[in-house]
Amino acid sequence: MLLNVPSKLDIVTTHERIRPFINRTPILSSDKINEICGCEVFFKCENLQKIGAFKARGGINAALSLEKDQVKYGICTHSSGNHAQAVALAAKMLGVKAYIVMPSNAPKPKVNGVIELGAELIFCEPTLEARENGVKEIIEKTGAIFIHPFDNYDVIAGQATASKELLEEKPDLDAILTPVGGGGLLSGTGLSAKYFSKKAKVYAGEPEGAADAVLSFKSGRVEKAPYIKTIADGLLTNLSEKTLAIIMETVTDILLVSDDEIIAALKLVFEHLKIIIEPSCAVPLAALIKNKELFKSQQVGIILSGGNVDLSQLIF
């Protein structure tokens, strides 16, 4: 195993640390979706997590893992949304300041979520460079400590607890699927499957219009997507060195899906599970439906990553 990668004990300890602050999210299923998929699917509903996304797990764990002295000037991050809310929530819990650098095109409910949690918001151009520069400035000015959205073992260990919980309730899963953006959830899920399951293989779904992880998984290097064009706004980032290394060792495959397939899966979840998810969150179900033969008659877990969608655009 790689040096410093979260161990089984690390993930168990992480779970104990964050348990009082997170929701034990329900696991739902639907006969209709099982029929469509040709297998038994168990949905771990992280859209019903605090701040509406699994990111609460990693953000809270990373913040709680820091020494009191380290966080006295606050914590900061850059994020298009859900990790931003996670860091804002963690700061509120710790009673310290949060500084969030957000791209100017971040979805409104994610922006509002951060504001309502009392964080200081700094908007930037929607590029990785602008985000990173924004954070650098904040650190220099305030002394706040940076919590990376995924290239951080405490964050990865936090995200790993979602599939740990899933496996506690469904120990016989043959496979677990997650979406992949920066790879925090996917690498954490890979670790949990390795540590807490005898047989569960881990797969990711990735949008065709942000297909960096599938390339990185083939080459073994952090690659960029050939082009960015997808409805799945939470999955635009590349992997990092830390997440890629874990993914190479623990993940079976990364499956590409189109935006049409993502939207069809999103509708199925709205209609048959009666819950609200964001487009990124529908990606693993889309991948499962596209690759039915791979999962035929199996027990499959899907981590539903989040539900922070702009309903005013969709509905009202």
Q: Residues in the site for a copy of itself, rule: CB under 8 A?
A: 26, 28, 32, 47-48, 52, 109, 116, 267, 270-271, 273-277, 307, 311, 314-316
Cross-sheet strand order for the sheet of 120-124: 120-124, 98-103, 75-78, 145-146
Pairing of the two strands 27-28 and 40-45: antiparallel
Residue 4 Cβ vs a copy of itself, minimum distance, rounded to whole Å: 35
Nearer to a copy of itself, 228 or 314 (CB): 314
Other CB atoms within a 10 A radius of the CB of residue 238 amount to 20
Per DSSP, the three-state class of 124 is: strand
Distance in angstroms (rounded) separating the CA atoms of residues 296 and 291: 9
Catalytic residue among 44, 55, 110, 201, which?
55
Q: By C-beta, is 66 or 93 nearer to a copy of itself?
A: 93
CB of 246 to a copy of itself, least distance (A): 29
| CB 68, min distance to a copy of itself, A | 25
CA distance 246 to 190: 7
- Closest CA relative to residue 94, chosen from 10, 21, 19, 153: 21
Euclidean distance between CA atoms 217 and 55, whole angstroms: 23
Note if 44 is an active site residue: no
Q: How far is the CB of 47 from a copy of itself (least distance, A)?
A: 5
Catalytic residue list contains 55: yes
Nearer Cβ to a copy of itself (49/238): 49
Give 252 or 299: the residue with its C-beta nearer to a copy of itself: 299
Nearest-angstrom CA–CA distance, 273 and 286: 15
Active-site pick, 79, 80, 192, 216: 80
Residues with a catalytic annotation lie at 55, 80
